[in-house]
Amino acid sequence: MDSNPSKSKRGRSLTGRVRGVILSPQGWQKFQTAKQQAESDETWGKRFTQEDLSDRTGLSLNTLARIFKRDLGVDRQSLEYLFRAFGLELTKTDLTSPAVSEETLSRWTNPQQDWDTAVDASVFYGREAELTQLWQWAVSERCRLVGVLGIGGIGKSTIAVKAALQMQMDFEIVVWRSLANAPPLDELLSSLLKFLMPLYGEDPIIPTTLDQQISKTIQYLRSRRCLLILDNAETILQREPVGQWISGYEGYGQLLRAIGETSHQSCLLVTSREKPREIALMEGAQTLVRSLTLSGLTPADGRAIFRQKGAFTGSEAEWQTLIHHYGGNPLALKLVAAAIQDLFNGSITEVLPYLSQGLAVFEDIRDLLARQFDRLCEAEQKTLSWFAIHREPVSIADIRENVVDPAAQQSVPNSINSLLRRSLIEKTDGLFFLQPVVMQYVTERFVQLLCIEFETLQLNVWQTHPLLRVQAKDYIREIQTRLIMQPVMERLLSRFGSVAAIEAQARHLLTQQGKKPGYTAGNLINLLVQFQVDLRGSDFSDLVVQQADLRQVDLAGVNFQNATFAKSIFSETLGLAMSIDFSPDGQTIAVGDSSGSIYLWNVTTAQLLATFEDHIGWVWSVAFSPDGRTLATGSSDSSIRLWDVESGRCLQVLTEHTGCVWTVSFSPDGQQLASGCEDKTVRLWNLQGQCLRVLKGHTQSVYAVHFAPDQQTLTSSSNDTTIRIWDVSNGNCLSVLQGHTSGVRCVRYSPDGQQLATGCRDGSIRLWSGYLSNNQQSKPSFKVLQGHTNWVWDIAFSPDGRLLASASRDGTLRVWSVQDGQSIHVLDDHTHDVFALAINADSQLLVSAGQDNTVRLWHLQSGQSLKTLRGHTSGIHSLSLSPDGQMLASSGRNGTIQVWHLQLDGNLSSLHPYQTLPSQIRWTSSLSHVSFSPVSASLPSGVGETLAVNRPDGSIALWNIQTGHLDQWSAHSASISTVLFSPNGQTLATSNSDRTVRLWDVRTHNCLQVLQGHENSVRAIAFDKSGQWLASGSFDSTIRFWEVQTGECFRVLRGHAGAVFTVTFDPSGQRLVSGGIDQTIRLWDVQTGTYLRTLSGHTGAVWTLAISPDGRILASGGDDQTIRLWDLQTGHCLHILGEHTSWVRSVIFSFNGQILFSGSDDRAIKLWDVKTGRCISTLTINRLYEGMKIQGATGLTVAQRTTLKALGAIDH
C-alpha cells in the first residue's frame, strides 16, 4: 500500500494479488457477541471506538478497518490478536476466504487510475486515526465531498495520496488532479473528461459550456464509483474573505455544490489550506459532506522525520518542546532538521535557547519559509526562483543552461546541494522540484521582487531571470503567463494606474540597457506585448533580446540594428501547412506548405533550420528516407523533388506525372520511392530519378501510397473508394479492398504489417486484416473507427503499434487504441482542417500540420500540447463594399480585418486606411470572411455601417464601423467559412465545415434555420436578389437551392468534378454561376436547374466570382493568379488581368460597375478599370515585420534571417 503513485501508469493497479482471510458469519457473530459483552461490562454499554480497539488488540486502525469491512483479506495472526483480546479462541470455522466477484476481481487487477502529479507517499508517518476517518467517510458512509484541511506543510497532499491508495480497491476509477498551477475550471474538467469518457466507451468530445461539462462529470460520478482528488485548492482561493474563490475561478464553487448536493455514488476529496465556502455550507451530520482538519504529528511520529535526516541528541522533554514549537508540521520539521544538522551538529539541546527567543508557537509555514529564505545566500535564492519559473521537475543542466552569468552557472550545483540539505527542494529520478507550498511562496516572492524592482528602476532579477521561457512547452508557458506574468501586470497596473504609465517606465528602462547581457530587454518587451502596446517604430537597437515572444507582433519599422537575439521566437512564413514528417532520429520535422515551400525545424528548440523553395504549387507530401539524408516532396505542380537534407540542394526532379502529386513514400530500405497522383497512377522510382514501373488500375486520383514493412507489397488508396495492394517486384495488383463509400484519403500499414488502416472522406477509419489471405474463400475483415465528422486527411500508427492517430477536416486529431478501436484523445487546438500528422520513432511525440498556419507538437500518450509553430501570411482572403460605396472592408489571411476609405477622382481611385478591427478581438492565422450589411441598419450596436466577421471559434462578430461597438455570439461548433447578409440586411447566413448553412436573425441572434443536406464542408453561399432563395456550394461537388423561409432544399445541381468554392446569382435572379477546384465556371438556369454553359480558361481552381450590376460581365479569379472578365451573354473572355503574383481570392464590382476590386494572397488589393482592363491602383498590405531593421543583429540563423526578410525585415 506504500506504492509510489507518481511512478504508476494510467490503468495499472498499484496493488498485488488478492490474499488473506476474513471472519466467517459464525466467526463474526462470535466476535460481535464477545465485544458487546465487554462493552456492557467495562463501559456501561458505551461502544468501543476504533482507537479503543486498537489499544486493546495492538492492531493498527487500518487493519481493524479491513477486518470490519469483511471483504478485504487480512492475515490469520491479526484475527488471532483480535479474538485473544476478547478471550476468544480462533478456530477454522471462524475463517473464510474473501468472496470476490468477477467484476471486483477485474477491477482490482486493472483499476482505471490516473495519478497525474500526485506526490510520493512511500515515506509516511502516523496519521492512522485520520486515515481511518477518511476511509469511514469515503467508503463506509459513501460521502460525496470530503475536505482535507490544514496549514501549509501539514501533510494534506501526502495523506490524500495515502488514503487514496488504501481506498483504491473500493473505487472503479481513481483520478488525481493538482490545482497548484491554477488551471481554469474548463481546462480541469476538459482534462478530467478526456480521461473518463473513453473509460465509459464514449467519444472524448468535450461539451462546450461549463454547465454541460459539470453535468457530464456528475453523470459519470453517478454511473460508476469514482474517487476524484483535487489537491492544493488554496491556490485558487482568496485569503480574504476566507473560503471564497479568486476572480475567474468561481466555477469551482459551482462544481463543489453540484458534487455535494447531487445524488451519485462517487467521492471528491479536496485538499486546501482554507475551507472552501461550499464545504462549510454543506457539511454536517445529516449530509454527505465532511471535512477533516489535520493537526501536527505526535512527538513520536515527528521524531521519525528527524531519523530520516541523521542522528540527533536530546532528552525526551527537549524533543517534545522542539516538535511542539513547530506544531508537529512535517514540512517545518524537515526544514528544521536540516538546519539543526548543519548548524548544531544534530544537538536538540543547543537549538532550544534560540527557539525560546522566537515565536512561542508555530503559526504558519510561510513564517518559517520566510526565515529560511532570508538565511539563503543570493545564489541559492536565485536558484529557487528558477524552479518557480520552470514549474516542473528540472535537471541541473537545464538550470545552468539558462543562467546568463558564467560565475553563477558554476554555483548552481552547490546551490542545489545546499537546498536539498535544507529540504527546500525535492529530488526524483535525477530531477529537482519544489513542494507546492514552497513553489507558491517562492513564486509570490519572485513576483513581488519583480514589481519592486520595476517601480524603483533597479533591475536585478529582471536581468537574471526570464518571466517567460518562450521556448518551453505550450502548457508550461501558459502556466508561467498565468502565475508570473499576469500577477506582475496586475500589481503594476494597480501601482501605476494606467498602461500608458507602465509603457513609459518600461521604455525608459529599455533606453538604459544598451548591450547589457541578460533577460531585461526580453522581459520588458514581453511585458509591453502582453499589455498590447503598439511597438511599431520603436528603437530597440543594440539591445540583448533574450526569451522574447515576437510571434504575431506587429513590429513594422522597429529598429533592431546591432541587437543580440537569444532564445527568442518569431512568426514564420509558413502558409497553410499541408504535409509533415519526422526525421528517423526524431530531431527534425519537415513541413510542406501551400506556397510551395518546405521547412525544416529542430524539434527540441523549434528553431528553423532550412527552407527549400523550388516547388510552384502546394506541397501535399513530404517524406524522409530511412537514413534521414534525403527528403522527397510531392506537389500540385505535378513534380516530385528529392532534396539533400544537409545541404538543401535539390538532387532530382521527377516530372512524369501529369497532375497533382498527392503522396510520396520511401521503401523501408530507402532504395525506391512510390508516388500517387491525380493522373490515377502509382509510380515506382529509384533515387536516381528513373521511373521503374507505372501501376494502373485506379479510376480516380491516387491519394496515398505506403510500403509494407517487408517491402514486398505496396498499398494505394484512391478517390475511387478502393484500396489496391500491389506486388512490388512485378507491379501486379494482388488485391482490391472495397467497402468505403467515398474517396479513401490515406492508408498505412501497421508496424508488423498485419493490419492496414485507411481513412475516408466520409470521416470513417477502417482497420483491415486478412487482406492477403491465400484462401480464396476468405474475405478481408475490418473494424470501423467512428468519431470524425469530416474527411480523414491522414493517419499514422505509432511505431510500437499500440496507437493510431488521425487528422481530419473537422479540425481535430484523434488518438485511437488499435486493440479495441476506442478513441483515447481528441486534440482540438487547431481551428481549421488538420491536413497531416506524423509520430516519432519512440512513439512519444505527435506532430500535426493545419490550415490555420500552425504546426503543433503533442505528447502522444497524454495529449498535451508541447509546442506551436505559427506561420504568418498577409494575403487578402475576402472583400466587401459598404452600401454607400465609400468603404471597402478586407479580411487578411492573418486574421486582420481592415476598412478602407474609397476615394474616386475621375479615372483615378485610391484606398486610404480608415479603421482596423480592435486588437482585443482580432485573431491570428485565421481565414476570416467579411460582409457589409447592404443597408445602414439600426442594430443593437447603433445606427451605422455594420460589418459581419466570422471568428475561428465558430462565433460571429457584428462590428459597427462608426461606433466601434461589437455584438458577438456563438454560431457553429467549428470554424465558419463564409458570412453573408441577406439583401434586406435582416438575416445573416453562415456556412461551415459541419456541412450546414445557418440563418440568423441579425437583431436577436436567434438561429432561424439550419440547412442540412450537404455531405461535406460548405464554403460558398449566395442570396438571390429577393432574399427568398439561397444557393450553397460544397466540397461534396454539389450546389443546393434552399427556400429561406422554410429551410427546404428544393434543388440539387451536379456537374462540377470536385469542390465548389464560389457561387453567385446574376442581378435578374435567373442564372447562377459557380466555380470550383475543377478549374471551370458553370452557368445554371435557376428556375429549372438546367446546366447552360461552361466557361473554361483558368488553369487552377476558381476561388471567386462576381457579376456586374447590369448583369453583363462576369469576373473570376483563381489559383492561376489571374482575373478573367467574361461576356455572360456570349461566354467570351474579354480581358485577362494578370498583375497579381499569387492566388486571387476575392473579386467584387463597384456599384456603378466601372471598377473591379480584387484581393490576392500576394497581399495586394487592386482596382481595375472594367472597360479597359487597366490596373488603376494597388494597395499592398504591410507584412508583420515590414521595415523592421535587423542590420548587424546577431544570434539569428541564416534560415531565421531569411524568414524575417520574407516578412518585411530590412537587412542591408
- 1169-1211 pLDDT, tens digit each: 999 999 998 988 888 899 999 999 999 988 889 899 999 999 9
Cβ pair 804, 796 in contact under 8 A: yes
Please name the residues in contact with 241: beta carbons below 8 A apart, sequence gap of 6 or more. Answer: none
Task: Reduce the DSSP state of residue 781 to 3 states and report it.
Answer: strand
Per-residue model confidence (pLDDT) at position 925: 42
Terminal-residue alpha carbon distance, the chain:
68
Whether the pLDDT of residue 311 is over 50: the answer is yes
C-alpha cell at 568: 527568442
563 phi and psi angles, rounded to 5 deg: -75, 155
Cβ pair 611, 597 in contact under 8 A: yes
pLDDT of residue 657: 94
Strand spans (E) along 828-896: 834-839, 845-850, 854-859, 865-870, 876-881, 887-892
Q: Helix, strand, coil shares of the chain as percentages rounded to 5?
A: 25, 30, 40
Single-letter code of the amino acid located at 272: S
Indicate the length of the chain as a whole number: 1212
Check residue 937 and give its pLDDT.
52
Task: Calculate mean pLDDT across residues 924-942.
Answer: 65
Task: Say yes or no to pLDDT of 1123 above 90.
Answer: yes
pLDDT in tens, 854-909: 999 999 988 999 999 988 777 898 999 988 888 888 888 766 788 888 876 544 44
Residue 288: which pLDDT band, with cuts at 50, 70 and 90? very high
pLDDT of residue 905: 54
Q: How confident is the model at residue 382 (pLDDT cuts 50, 70, 90)?
A: very high
Per-residue pLDDT of 589-615, as tens digits, reads 999 998 889 999 999 888 889 999 889
Q: Return the ∠ at Cα 632 (arms to 628 and 634), rounded to 5°.
A: 155
Residue 1058's pLDDT band, with cuts at 50, 70 and 90, is confident
pLDDT of residue 105: 41
C-alpha dihedral sign at 401, 628, 759, 200: negative
Residue 3 · residue 122 · CB < 8 Å: yes
Helix (H) or strand (E) holding 436: helix 436-456
pTM equals 0.79
Sheet holding 1007-1012, edge to edge: 976-981, 987-992, 996-1001, 1007-1012
Give, in order, the Cα–Cα distances in Å from 445 to each of 261, 385, 394, 451, 946.
Answer: 39, 9, 20, 10, 49
Q: How far apart are CA 1018 and CA 682, in angstroms?
A: 31
Alpha-carbon distance 111 to 630, whole Å? 46
Q: Give the whole-angstrom CA distance, residue 2 versus residue 121.
A: 7
DSSP character at residue 920: G
Domains present along the chain, CATH in parentheses: 5-12+106-293 (3.40.50.300), 19-99 (1.10.260), 299-363 (no CATH), 376-553+565-570 (no CATH), 697-786 (2.40.10), 876-985+997-1002 (2.130.10.10)
- Going by C-alpha positions, the residue among 177, 153, 150, 175 that lies closest to residue 164 is 175
Whole-angstrom distance, CA of residue 277 vs CA of residue 297: 27
The stretch 124-139 carries a mean pLDDT of 89
Query: CA dist 415 to 200, 294, 444, 518, Å?
Result: 48, 33, 21, 20
Percent of the chain with pLDDT strictly greater than 70 = 92
Q: Indicate the average pLDDT of the chain.
A: 87
CA 891/CA 898 separation, integer angstroms: 7
